[in-house]
Structure 1
Amino acid sequence: MQLLLIRHAESENNAKPVHARVCDPSITARGRLQADCLGKWMSGLAIDQLITSPFLRTLETTRFVLQHAHTAPRRYPIAVWHDVFENGGCYHGHHEKNFRGAEGLGREAIHSFFRDISDQLPDREPPPLTVDSEIQSDGWWGGRDPESPDQMRARSRSVIERFENTFPQRPSHEPRSLSTDPVVVLIAHADFLREMLSLMLAGTVAMESVGPIPNTSVTSLQWSTTGWKLDSLNSVTHLPPRLVTGHQAMLS
């Protein structure tokens, strides 16, 4: 498997001070330009599966990927996984003393989001969509308390195992040029991606020396019988310099 880890486009929270942030923001005007550049770049890839978190900012980033597919979006079958959300989950408040759980988008709202994309592309078949059964009508987070750092680390480990169990390994002796590896894309969040990478690359890459993860940056890894191998980290070659954001601070 070739796995592309992509941070969502700039969200309204990324562009605001902490006290002004909301529980589930949209992407900004600049974020839409970033996502547009990402979608154009991804249109040249033969993707087998695209996975996104249920947060609005990742879904909106995914919208541009689908809009730029040169062929019918069946090229990009979509899965919304319940367990690839950002550190803490979906919640109101800006300090642990006033945190309170929010609902997050519900199952029907997510299906409606993708139906709207299909309505905007009437000449194309709608993408096959799978939404995890854990995402119910009352919202994917359901008003729970914020997740702890230890819980996020355990969840990151379980998501890595989910990838490893869902998609096949490439034999380590097989040349990549002859490989039939699936190409899998995950559009998720900075802190969560950082945690995943710290576990995948433990002993080979010191994540504290890597720096922040820019919006729509692309990290490429290979999953083979020898484990995880990093091909490229935080690439933003699809963006003009004026659109590179999130590279000066770690923001969700």
Structure 2
Amino acid sequence: MQLLLIRHAESENNAKPVHARVCDPSITARGRLQADCLGKWMSGLAIDQMITSPFLRTLETTGFVWKHAHTAPRRYPISVWHDVFEHGGCYHGHHEKNFRGAEGLGRKAIHSFFQEISEQFPDLEPPPLTVDSQIQDTGWWGGKDRETPDQMRARSRSVISRFENTFAPDPADKPGQLTTDPVVVLIAHADFLREMLSQMLAEVVAMDSIGPIPNTSVTSLQWCTTGWKLNSLNSVTHLPPRLVTGHQAMLS
């Protein structure tokens, strides 16, 4: 399996001070340009599965990629996973004293979001879309308390296992042999991607020595029977320099 980890395009929260942030922001005008560049670049890839978190900023980034999917070698399915959200979950507030759980987008809202995109291309068959059964109409977060760092670390381990179990190499593969199929894409969030990488590459890379993850940057890994191999880290070659953001500070 080849896994591409991609941070969402610049969100309105990324462009605001902490006290002005909201629970589920859209992407900015610059973020839309970033996502469009990402979509054009990804249109040349033979992708088997694209996975996104249920936050609006990741859905919108995924939507821009979807708009370019008709030029890809094959139209890849999209899945919305309930467990790849940013650290903390969906919540109002900017300080421990005023954190309050938010609902998050519901199942019908997510389906409607992608339906509106498909209606822009009436002559093209949309790629298959699946939404985790854990995401209900009441909202994917459901107003729960803010997630703790320990809970995020445990969730990250579970997500890594989910990737390995869902897209595992053929048991007939020889030990140590790299497997490049399928090609899977995850569009998620900076802090959560860093946590995933810190666990996947614990014996290879010291994450404390690696800087922030830029918006729409692409990290490529390969899974083999001996573990994860890093191919590239935080690539932004699909962006012109003026569109590179999120590389100076870690923002969710």
Q: Please report how far the alpha carbon of residue 72 of structure 1 lies from its aligned counterpart in structure 2 after TM superposition.
A: 7.7
- 2:60 counterpart letter in structure 1: E
Alignment partner of 1:169 is 2:151: no
Alpha carbons 2:50, 2:77 under 8 Å: kept? yes
Q: Please report how far the alpha carbon of residue 203 of structure 1 lies from its aligned counterpart in structure 2 after TM superposition.
A: 1.3
SS at 1:19 equivalent: helix
- 2:93 counterpart letter in structure 1: G
Alignment partner of 1:86 is 2:86: yes
Please give the per-residue CA displacement for 1:93-131, whole angstroms capped at 9, x wherever unaligned. 000110000000000000000100110111111221110
Q: Distance in 2 between matches of 1:172 and 1:131?
A: 34
- 1:80 counterpart letter in structure 2: V
Q: Which residue of 2 aligns with 1:103?
A: 103
CA root-mean-square deviation: 1.5
Q: Distance in 2 between matches of 1:156 and 1:174?
A: 24
> Aligned residues, how many?
250
Unaligned runs of 5+ in 1: none
Q: Distance in 1 between matches of 2:199 and 2:176?
A: 25
Q: Please report how far the alpha carbon of residue 175 of structure 1 lies from its aligned counterpart in structure 2 after TM superposition.
A: 7.0
Q: Distance in 1 between matches of 2:22 and 2:136?
A: 22
Q: Which residue of 2 aligns with 1:181?
A: 181
- The more displaced of 144-153 and 161-170 is 161-170
Q: Distance in 1 between matches of 2:148 and 2:66?
A: 34
Q: Which residue of 1 aligns with 2:117?
A: 117
Q: Please report how far the alpha carbon of residue 75 of structure 1 lies from its aligned counterpart in structure 2 after TM superposition.
A: 1.2
Alpha-carbon spacing, 1:107–1:73, altered in 2? closer, same or farther (3 Å): farther
Alpha carbons 2:46, 2:72 under 8 Å: kept? no
Q: Please report how far the alpha carbon of residue 76 of structure 1 lies from its aligned counterpart in structure 2 after TM superposition.
A: 1.9
- The more displaced of 180-189 and 152-161 is 180-189
Q: Please report how far the alpha carbon of residue 69 of structure 1 lies from its aligned counterpart in structure 2 after TM superposition.
A: 1.6
Q: Which residue of 2 aligns with 1:240?
A: 240
Q: Distance in 2 between matches of 1:45 and 1:158?
A: 27
Q: Distance in 2 between matches of 1:58 and 1:240?
A: 21
Please give the per-residue CA displacement for 1:11-56, whole angstroms capped at 9, x wherever unaligned. 0000000000000000000000000000000000000000000000
1:142-153 equivalent positions in 2, closer than 5 A: 142-153=142-153
Alpha carbons 1:168, 1:181 under 8 Å: kept? no
Please give the per-residue CA displacement for 1:119-175, whole angstroms capped at 9, x wherever unaligned. 011111122111000000100000000000000000000000000000022636687
Q: TM-score, normalising length from structure 2?
A: 0.96
Alpha carbons 2:4, 2:220 under 8 Å: kept? yes
